[in-house]
Amino acid sequence: MDFTEHEALCRRCGMSCHFAIPVNGLAVVIDALRCKFLAQAEGEPGRYHCTVYASRHSVAPWCHSAESALAAGFLAQDCPYARGHKGYRGKVRLSHSLLRQVLPAIITEILRVGIPIGADPDRVRRFLFDAGTDCTYTVSADGSRYLFASPVSPTAQAVSDSQGDSQSDSQGDASADSYVTPVRATARRSSSLNVLPSSD
């Protein structure tokens, strides 16, 4: 097919431009965790567009072509570009009720490994805050991810300081990293997840 026909296959669902989180063997997407250059289409719920499409491969080096996204499993499970590829397992978007069930597992994974550098950390931080987890973030040492952590509460810091006073002579000054601790959410796993079709 020619370029126009190839482009016309895209439903503009934005699934390939969302970073997936593994939950019970599924690659789950949430709206907060998407490429920072992906914007929602005005007046078209569930539709997205790339704000740097013409130069996306140079501006966003994490961007994939439809072919490479298909090979890596980065397209929606029911994406038109995946038709004819038997057994293809791609990304899924869960219904609201199922998403609520696995939300603790999603939060735990974000706090455990961070998010890719191509995502918008402020959008993810707002998502975590709305879910009850107030975080700060930093860039990982290799520059590939944003890592999230929660400030230690004043009470916990006072306890830490009193314990550290007796060891300060032998250990020297504490690093800045000692003033933040990762937040852990308790993951709940669902034995069976019904996937919401990506018909948007």
Q: Are residues 63 and 107 in the same domain?
A: no
Identify the band that residue 6 occupies on the pLDDT scale cut at 50, 70 and 90: confident
- Among residues of the chain, what percentage have pLDDT more than 90? 65
Q: Are residues 185 and 158 in the same domain?
A: yes
Which of 33-47, 54-68, 80-94, 162-176 is least confident? 162-176
User: How many angstroms separate the CA atoms of 7 and 96, rounded?
Assistant: 30
Q: Are residues 49 and 115 in the same domain?
A: no
Name the residue with higher pLDDT: 14 or 172. Answer: 14
Predicted TM-score of the model (pTM): 0.73
Does any domain span residue 157?
yes
Q: Are residues 52 and 66 in the same domain?
A: yes
Which of 93, 123, 153 represents a domain boundary (last residue)? 93
pLDDT in tens, 30-72: 999 999 999 998 888 889 999 999 999 999 999 999 999 999 9
Does any domain span residue 195?
no
Could you tell me the CA-to-CA distances from 122 to 13, 49, 86, 126, 136 in Å, in that order? 22, 20, 38, 6, 9
Domain residue limits at 69: 9-93
